[in-house]
Amino acid sequence: MTILALIILGLVQGVAEWLPISSDGHLVLVENLLKLNIPVEFDIFLHLGSLLVLLFFFRQEIKEIALHFFQAKKFKSAQYHDWVWYLLLSTLVTAIIGFSFYQKIDSFRTVEIAAFGLLVTSIFLFSTFWIKERRGLNWQIALILGLVQGIAVLPGVSRSALVISTALLLGLNKKQAFDFAFLLAIPAILGALVLSWDNLVWHNEYLIALVVTIISGYLALILLKRILLKNYFPWFFVYTLLLGLITLLAI
């Protein structure tokens, strides 16, 4: 791959992984548009960059959740109480779904499925125009969010869009929805990396895409948090709807 292709793919992964527009869907579309054959190990390194971004961005939240788990008294009344158990439940549900899809996932990486996935993403985003904060996180919500994240393994179906939208529709406030959605992504990405470890092969040029993924991903997370808190999150449906329809018409 050329340096330009590495930069483009790093940007697509960094930005689309966190913005509710589906990184896998965009990678499939870019791969077909540029006539690229993206090796499995390259995709692994892109997701490694995304994992590093999450660990750094949510370092304080991870610390507080860990302190809760070990019953640190000064944190007992904070919002992250019991989040370890909620994250474990959601992750278990996601793992069951993800593992069942794992052997077949390459067969779903088509332009058609990516386009339909973008339309599904649009529906979830559009639904968040009508939300009302009314409850905190509980076992039932954690189970549903794990299920939704598992469905988002399909190209075009944005994990961040589905998890955040569902969390908002179930009554979580915006900060809870944002934090849980991306903290939940950490074990999901880590699990995918472990399953793909045998395919890991290092090429020096991958470092370019890895760095681009990390920088653009961190900036995209900052941007998404501001967009969500300012109530602009649902408007991403316009982009995913248009891209999905244009892709279907162009096939």
DSSP per-residue codes, 128-197: TTS--------HHHHHHHHHHHHHTTSTT--HHHHHHHHHHHTT--HHHHHHHHHHHHHHHHHHHHHHTG
List C-alpha distances in Å: 59 to 54, 55, 183.
Answer: 8, 6, 10
Q: Is the pTM of this model over 0.85?
A: yes
For the stretch 60-118, pLDDT in tens is 999 888 887 776 555 544 567 789 999 999 999 999 988 787 667 777 788 999 999 99
pLDDT given for residue 135 in this prediction: 77
3-class secondary structure, 204: coil
- State the virtual CA torsion across 145, 16, 134, 90 in degrees, nearest 10: 20
List C-alpha distances in Å: 181 to 99, 137, 169, 188, 216.
Answer: 20, 12, 13, 11, 19
For the stretch 119-166, pLDDT in tens is 999 999 999 998 887 878 999 999 999 999 999 888 899 999 999 999
For the stretch 229-248, pLDDT in tens is 999 999 999 999 999 999 99
3-class secondary structure, 81: coil
Q: Is the pLDDT of residue 187 over 80?
A: yes
Residue 26 makes CB contacts below 8 A (sequence gap 6+) with 12, 16
Mean pLDDT, range 194-219, rounded to an integer:
85
Mean pLDDT, range 185-196, rounded to an integer:
84
Domain boundaries, the chain: 3-250
pLDDT given for residue 73 in this prediction: 53
Query: 215 or 39: whose pLDDT is higher?
Result: 215
Nearest CA-CA partner of 21 in 135, 159, 149, 143: 159
Q: Is the pLDDT of residue 18 over 90?
A: yes
